[in-house]
Chains A and B, each alone.
Chain A
Amino acid sequence: MNPINHRVSLALAGTLTLALSACSLSSGEPSSSPASTAAGSTQGTPSSGHAKGTVVLVTHDSFVAPKKTLEAFTKQTGYQVEVRKNGDAGELTNKLVLTKDSPLGDAVFGIDNTFASRAVDAGVLSDHTPTNPPAGMAPFALPDPKAARQLTPVDYGDVCVNIDDRWFAKKGINPPKTLDDLTKPAYKNLFVTPGAATSSPGLAFLLATIGKYGEQGWQDYWKKLMANGTRITQGWSDAYSVDFSGGEGKGSRPIVLSYASSPPFTIPKGGDKPTTSALLDTCFRQIEYAGVLKGAKNPAGAAALVDFLVSPTFQKTVPDNMYVYPVNDSVSLPPLWAKWAKVAKHPFTVAPKKIAKDRRAWLEQWSEIATG
């Protein structure tokens, strides 16, 4: 049939589409007010909150802040916060690099020490250092002075090998302690770790081995590790929840790559002691930074938000919400953490600049060894 004859029906359908998108269920919600996460409290301080506008915080998927905390920020400064999550730390950084010309927001939180150099080199950030730097922040600052001017450390976490103490006790085997131990026959087929190419703790573990065995030596270590039956999974949750015997999945492997902060979560109901522990001689430290984005619409608000992130009000929420340690050492840790989630004294380190330069080559080599 002549398609012209269908003009009327198409016109109708087209109008319908437009009408639908205009009155759709999801966009017609009143939540078009940007800071619905923080909006509740502003009723108390009506005019000041809205007058100064909104700060858009671009961050990674793991960002969690209690409503009350963000409301406190609004109360203090008059800015409302709109949070936009953008994948993991790597994805976040790369998105910022790609959208440099029209930034996704005003401030960023969640660029870590493995991606910091890329963000700084690409020029996505403005200079800003907190007006009142908290006690204990200095050691976490980036070594490069330019980078240190742009990125403010907010929290850190140690990625460490964890073990299922119950399993080792039951089998009567001595648990491993070091990275070297993991290649020993006694621990054959017992270790599971997320892959370095698809998981940020996985990458941290790779960096730990590079920190320990050097740029020339880590490959050999990984060959031995793989020969000893190490299992590589896509992500952390898969390794911890499915394969790890001490996790939710009651899997078959008692050694897993996780965090120094994981053990308190394994305290059984009614118990007082975790069933797992972290090996503090196997750790790599991830430090997360915040900064003001270049081209921010609200640079003043962004600066205020970065300052807020290192203030005690926010700092004290990070252990419970993001499972990381605050850089502000005047903030007290939750009691269970203080007792069961100690951090490494001497974590392995690799210079951020070095990471930025060689990440790709390392990951390719690693892929060949671990998944080839």
Chain B
Amino acid sequence: MKDLGTSCPNTWCPGCGNFAIMNAVKTALNSLSDEGLSLNNVVLVSGIGCNSKIADYMNVNSFYSLHGRVFPPATGIKLANPGLKVIGHAGDGDAYGEGLEHLIFAAKRNVDMTAIIHNNRVYGLTTGQYTPTSPLGYKGRSTPFGTTEMPLNPLELMLVSGATFLGRGTSHGIDLLKKLFKEAILHKGFALIDVLQVCVTYYNMYEYYDKRVYELKDHNPEDFDAAMKKIREWDYNTDSPIALGLLYKKNAPTMEERFGKFDRENIDRSSKIKKIMEEAI
């Protein structure tokens, strides 16, 4: 197994859920590499937040973007070269807050990429504010008396937006993450894995999740209604069972396929421009 690490010192807190995600990504990539995927074809796109430091920690091509802006460059990269495997890493603030419009459009377009959302339901790097998935009443530094808004159910939003592969895992379940990531990378279309990643410093939910999560069995991920039912079982707010695993999967054409092929060579620009000029006389 290739280490895939860099010399960059890791600054995640001890016990941070991001370690599990990174290890699972590395394992998935190694496994795909063993099966013939060239790792030079992988581009990791990340936003800004603790999670996004993964771009520094992994020795693969990377595009360390801005907060909320994982999906536009990822889409640009796929349109430039549909053969690349693009993996986007974003936090919940990144993907579900500042960059929500881009996420919806990436799903709507069914861009062939994998989105791994490090959903710890708190802003870590900016030190403990609420996020779009924090429960109602969450007390953070910007909401000392508790939030006054319901959380978003990102998977529900993604399902209706056109995502074609939806899964959920937790940073306590690395084996499931490895499996989900590998399947997501192999999936043709927009795949999103919502990872209930735990921020040990600002929002330690290990115990909460451990009590409520269960792995899906006898679930047909190709059944939209069944997927919606499982996705709505937990609304990121009330205490209810939390389904993990592959929730939804569908085959559909991707944006890149519909966009068509482009030949960068053999364009006689000068003579075509000359013709346009002659026609305008």
A binds B: no
B interface, CB within 8 angstroms of A: none
